Amino acid sequence: MRAETRRRWAIAGLTGPAYLWLTLTIFLPLSAMLWFSFQKKGPFGRHEAEFTLKHYEAFFTKAYMQDLTWRSLEMGLQVTVICLVLGFPAAYVLAKRIRGRWREALFLLVVLPFWSNALVRIFSWTVVLRPGGVLDGAVQFVFPGAPAIDLADSWNAVIIGLVHSYLPYMILTCYLSLQALDDSLIEAARSLGASAATILWRIVLPLAIPGIAAGAVLIFVPVIGSFFEPKLLGGTQGVVIGTVIEEQFTVVSNWPLGGALSFILLAIVLLILAVSYPFLKDRMRTA
Amino acid sequence: MAQPWEGEGMSRHLLPRIADGMGRIFLALILVFLYVPIAVLALMGFNESVHYALPFEFSTKWYEALAGNERLLTASFNSVWIALANTVVATTIGTMAAFALGRFRFRGRTVMQLLLFPPITIPWLIIGTAMLVFFFWTGIGRGLHSLLLGHIALSLPYVIIVVGARMASFGPELEEAAASLGATPLQAFWRISLPVLMPGIIAAALFAFAVSFDQFVISYFLAAPGTSVLPVEIFSAIRKGFTPEVNAISTLVIFVSMGIMLAFARLSKFGGER
Amino acid sequence: MSVVEARHVTKRYGEVRALDDVSLVFPEGNFFALLGPSGSGKTTLLRAVAGFVEPEAGEILLDGQDIAHTPVHRRNIGMVFQNYALFPHMSVFDNIAFGLSVRGVSRAEARERVHRMLDLVRLPGMEERKPRQLSGGQQQRVALARAMVTEPKVLLLDEPLGALDKRLRQEMQIELKQIQRAVGITAIFVTHDQEEALTLSDHIAIINDGRLVQVGAPHDIYENPGSVFAAGFLGDANILRGRVENGAVAVDGVGPVTPRSALPGQGSPAVVAVRPEKVRILAEPSGQACNRVAGRVIQGVFSGTSVTYIVETAAGVQRAFRQNAGERIHGAGEGVVLEWSPEHTVVVEE
C-alpha cells in the first residue's frame, strides 16, 4: 500500500513539530514537576533522588494550607456567581433585545477587554481603588463628607478585579447559548399562555445551561489558580493558595512543595473538569 | 417592538417597554464597569501629578519619560521580538498540525485533539512553574529563549483550533479536485489549501501574537533577572510603587492588544468568504 | 479516447465490503452510468478509477495499463464533483486554467484553451467572475470546463447534477450529453437517479451492496431486467411469485402466468416482473389469450398526462399505468381486470 505509507509520513511530518513542541514544553514539564513533588529536594546541585511524601503531607497536616485552598475555592465561587448574576442578564439583553449591527458592535465591545492584557486591567483597578483614587474622589464629589472609601488591599478589591477580568467570558458563553435559542420557542411558550417569569424559568434558563456551565467552569478554574490578581489588589488580604505556590518558586525556593501544591490544585481542577465535561464538550465545538 | 407579555390594558404595552429599557440600561452599566477603569488608567497617564492628584492637568510628560526609559524600551523591544518570533513559529507548525488533523482520519487523532485542551485549561500558574522546574533541571534555564519556548507552546493550541475551524469549513474536495487536475499534493497545498485557509491563518497569527504579547504569568517565571518583557516590567513597577509612567506604557500595551484582537475578530467573523 | 477497465476490484472499509470483486469495461467514447442506491459502492468504484480510493485487490486499467496504485495527479483524468469543488479564491479563468498551469502550459495557450472551453460550455465572457457570483448551473458548467480543458483520457462525474433543481437538471442533462458527444471523451458518471441514468448514458451498470447487479444499454436493461432488484431500481415493476408448472408460473390465487423466456425446471420457484405501462386495465376480461389477474382499485393516481392505478389483487398490490387518452377513470373500490402479454413478462432472479 504505497499510498497508505505516503499518508502516514505526511501525518507524522505535519503533526510532529507541533506535538513534539507541546510534549517538550508542557507535558514533560508537568511530568517533571510531578516527579519533583515526590522528591526531598528540588533540582539544585547534585544529590541522590530521594522519594518522599512530605510535601503532600504538609498540605494535609498544616491547617493554614487547607484554609488558603478553601479561600481560593471561595474566591472562585464568589467570582463565578457574581459573573453569572451580572453576565447572564447582559447576555440575554444582547442576544434577544438588541438587533442588527448594534448587537454585533456591542458584543465585540464586551469581549474586547477580555482579550486584552489581563495584568494591565488589574493595574487599572489599583489606580481606581487606591485611597484618594478616582472612585474615592468621585464619591466625595457626589456626596461631600461621605466616609472615605478605601478598597485598596482588600478582599473586595480582589473580587472586583477578578469579576472585571472574567465577566466577558460569562457573557460570551451565555450569549452563544442564547443566540442559538430559537425565538419561536419563546413565542410558542407565550402563545400557550406562559408568563414572562415562566418562560425565563422553564424555557430560556434550561436551554442556556450549557452556556452557563461552560462559562462557570472557564471562570472558576483560572480564578482558583490566580495569583497576581490577589497579590496586586489584595495585599495582605490577598493570600491564597495561588500566591503560596508562586512564592515557593520565586521567594522561598521550595520547588517540591510548590509542585505538590500545584498538583493538589490541579487535582481539584481536574475533578471540576471531569464533572463538567459533558457540558464543555458541546460548547467547545460551537465556540 | 412592544410584545404582548402579560397583564391587561396599559401595562400590556408599557411593561415590556420598561423591561426593555431597563435591560439596555443594565447592559450600558456593564460596559461602564468594563471600560471605566481602562479609561481612568489611560487618562491618568496624561495627568501632570505623580501622585495621581486631581484636578486633572493635561501633560504628555510621562510619555516623554518613556522615551528615555532604557529598561522599558528594552523590554518593549523584547516583547515585540518574542511575539513576532512566536507568531511565525506557532502559526507555521500549528497550521501544519491543523491541516493534518482536519484532513486525515487516523488512529490517535482524537487523542491529539484532546491534548490541546490541557494547555488551555490548566491554570498558567501551574504550567509556568512546571516549565521553570523542567527548564532549570534540563539546563535550558531561564531567559528570553525559554520564554519563547513557553509562549509558542501556549499559542499552539489556539492556532490549531482557529485554523482547524477554518479547515472544517471546506471538505477535502478542493484538494481532490486539484489532484484530479494534475496537481501534486504539494502544489495542491500551496495553491489551493493555503490560500483558502488564509483568513483563518491570519486570525490565528494575530491571536498568537496577542497570547505572547500579553503573556505575563509564563514570562514572570521564565524571565531571567535583567532581561525582561513588558508585562513583567509593568508588574515589578506596580509592586515597587508605580508612577503615571506605568500608566503610559500600560495604555500603549492595552491599545496594541485591543487593536490586534479587533483585527482578529473581524477576520475570524467575516473571514468566511473571500 | 480511452478504454477504462476494472478487474476484480475489491475494497473493504473495516468489515463492510464497499466493492466486492467488481469487473467492468467502460468502452471508448461511451457515456457510462454507475447506478445504485446510496452506500451501494458506486461512488467507491468511481473514486477508485479517479485514484482517491486504493483497491485492496484487483486492477484498474487505463488503455491497458494498471493504474490502481498510481497517484491521482499522474492519471490524467478529469473529474466533476458533486458540489463542483470550484476553488473559491480563484476566478473562473484561473479555475479552468489550473490544470493547464500545473502542467506548465504557457499563459497564452492557456488563455486560448480556456476561451474555447468557455465557448463549449456556453459561458463566454465569464472569465473574471468568482465562483460565488455564479448560479448553480453556471458553476456546473465551469466545473465541466475545468475538468475537460486538460483533455483527460476519461471524464468522471460524481452525481454531477445532484445539486440542481429539477428543470435546470433536465436542461443540463441534454447539454452534458451533447458536450460529451462533441468531444468524444469516455465518461463515467455516478448517479442514484434512474431517470438520469436512462436519459444520459450509453451503458448502465447497476450496483448494489458492492456487487455488480447488471450491465447493459439502458433500453436493454429496462426491458430485460435480470433480477427483482434491477427491475425495481430501474423503473417500476410488478413482481409475481409462484412455481413452475407446465411451462408457466403458477401464482397463488391468480393461476398460470406465461413468461416470454425459458423457465427453470418443473416445481421450482420462479419470479416474473412486468412493467406497469405494459399492463392494460379493463372493466371486463378481453377474452384474448394473455396473462390476466382480477383485482379491485385502491386508488387511481392522476398526474395529468397519465393515471397510475394501484390495484389490490390476489397476488398482492400491483400497478397499471395508462396514458390519459380521455377514458373514464376507474374509481376506488371498482372491480377491474389487469391484462398483459407474455411477451412483456420477464423471468427474473430473486
Query: B1, B30, B43: which to substitute to probe chain A, counting the most A Cβ within 10 Å?
Result: B30
B168 falls in which pLDDT band (50, 70, 90)?
A: confident
User: Can you list the residues of chain C whose pLDDT is less than 50?
Assistant: none
Q: Are the C-beta atoms of residues C189 and C160 closer than 8 Å to each other?
A: yes
What does the pLDDT read at residue B5? Answer: 44
Superfamily the domain A56-286 falls into: MetI-like (1.10.3720.10)
Which residues of B are less than 8 Å from A9 in CB distance?
none
Check residues A46 and C346 and name the one with the higher pLDDT. C346
Chains that touch C (3 or more CB pairs under 8 A): A, B
Which residues of B are less than 8 Å from C79 in CB distance?
176-177, 180
Read off the pLDDT of each residue in B73-94 and give the average, rounded to a whole number.
93
What does the pLDDT read at residue A110? Answer: 86
Which residues of B are less than 8 Å from A90 in CB distance?
26-27, 30
What does the pLDDT read at residue B154? Answer: 93
What does the pLDDT read at residue C1? Answer: 62
Query: B27, B155, B158, B230: which to substitute to probe chain A, counting the most A Cβ within 10 Å?
Result: B27
Across the interface, whether the CB atoms of C69 and A2 are under 8 A apart is answered yes
CA–CA gap between residue A259 and residue A261 (Å, rounded)? 5
Q: At C84, list the grid cell.
A: 463542483
What does the pLDDT read at residue A279? Answer: 64
Q: Cα distance from A156 to chain B (closest Cα, Å)? A: 15
Q: Cα distance from A4 to chain C (closest Cα, Å)? A: 9
Across the interface, whether the CB atoms of B177 and C81 are under 8 A apart is answered yes
Residues 156-185 of C with CB under 8 A from B: 156
- CB-CB neighbours of C24 under 10 Å: 19
The full 3-state SS of A67-124, as one line of letters, equals HHHHHHHHHHHHHHHHHHHHHHHHHHHHHHHCCHHHHHHHHHHHHHHHHCCHHHHHHH
Q: Determine which of A112-116, B223-227, C130-134 has the lowest per-residue pLDDT on average.
A: A112-116
What does the pLDDT read at residue A17? Answer: 94
- Nearest CB to C150: which of B173, B182, B273? B182
Which residues of B are less than 8 Å from A255 in CB distance?
129, 133
- Sign, CA torsion B65/B68/B73/B74: negative
- Sign, CA torsion B170/B176/B180/B182: positive
Q: Are the C-beta atoms of residues C275 and C350 closer than 8 Å to each other?
A: no
Answer whether B190 touches C (CB < 8 Å): no
Task: Tell me whether the omega of the peptide bond preceding residue B37 falls within 30 degrees of 0, making it cis.
Answer: no
Which residues of C are less than 8 Å from A4 in CB distance?
54
Q: Cα distance from C56 to chain A (closest Cα, Å)? A: 8
Q: Are the C-beta atoms of residues C24 and C46 closer than 8 Å to each other?
A: no
Query: B107, B166, B175, B180: which to substitute to probe chain C, counting the most C Cβ within 10 Å?
Result: B180
Across the interface, whether the CB atoms of B173 and C98 are under 8 A apart is answered no
Which residues of A are less than 8 Å from B30 in CB distance?
86, 90, 110, 167, 171
> Where do the domains of chain A lie?
56-286
Note the pLDDT tens digit of each residue in A241-252.
899 899 888 888
What does the pLDDT read at residue B264? Answer: 82
Q: Determine which of A125-129, B72-76, C52-56, C190-194 has the lowest per-residue pLDDT on average.
A: A125-129
What does the pLDDT read at residue A282? Answer: 58
pLDDT at B269 over 70: no
Which residues of A are less than 8 Å from B160 in CB distance?
18
Q: What residue type is assigned to position A62 of the chain?
A: K
pLDDT at B3 over 70: no
Answer whether B131 touches A (CB < 8 Å): yes
Across the interface, whether the CB atoms of C71 and A4 are under 8 A apart is answered no
Read off the pLDDT of each residue in A164-173 and give the average, rounded to a whole number.
90
Answer whether B189 touches A (CB < 8 Å): no
Note the pLDDT tens digit of each residue in C298-348.
998 998 899 999 999 988 899 999 998 888 888 888 999 999 998 999 999
pLDDT at A85 over 90: yes
Query: A39, A104, A127: which to substitute to probe chain B, counting the most B Cβ within 10 Å?
Result: A127
3-state secondary structure of C246: coil
Q: Which of B122, C27, B156 minimizes the C-alpha distance to A19?
A: B156
pLDDT at B186 over 80: yes
B–C CB contacts, 8 A cutoff, strictly below: 73
Number of helices and strands in chain C (H, E): 8, 20
The values of phi and psi at residue C301, to 5°, are -90, 110
Q: Cell 478554574 identifies what position?
A: A221
Q: What is the ipTM of this complex?
A: 0.85
Q: Determine which of B27-36, B45-54, B244-253 has the lowest per-residue pLDDT on average.
A: B45-54
Across the interface, whether the CB atoms of B182 and C52 are under 8 A apart is answered no
Query: C72, C75, C76, C151: which to substitute to probe chain B, counting the most B Cβ within 10 Å?
Result: C72
Q: Cα distance from B161 to chain A (closest Cα, Å)? A: 10
CA–CA gap between residue C232 and residue C49 (Å, rounded)? 28
What does the pLDDT read at residue B4? Answer: 45
Answer whether A48 touches C (CB < 8 Å): no
Residue of B nearest to C77 (CA): B180
Answer whether B173 touches C (CB < 8 Å): yes
Which residues of A are less than 8 Å from B139 in CB distance?
none
Q: Cell 387518452 identifies what position?
A: C325
Across the interface, whether the CB atoms of A1 and C54 are under 8 A apart is answered yes
Q: Are the C-beta atoms of residues C296 and C334 closer than 8 Å to each other?
A: yes
DSSP one-letter string for A229-270: HHHHHHGGGG--HHHHHHHHHHTS--HHHHHHHHHHHHHHHH
Note the pLDDT tens digit of each residue in B40-69.
888 888 887 777 776 777 888 888 888 888
Q: At A164, list the grid cell.
A: 472585571
- Contacts (Cβ under 8 Å, ≥6 apart) of B23: A89, A92, A93, A97
Check residues A200 and B146 and name the one with the higher pLDDT. B146
Spacing of C-alpha B249 from chain mean position: 18
Answer whether A9 touches C (CB < 8 Å): no
Q: Are the C-beta atoms of residues C232 and C239 closer than 8 Å to each other?
A: yes
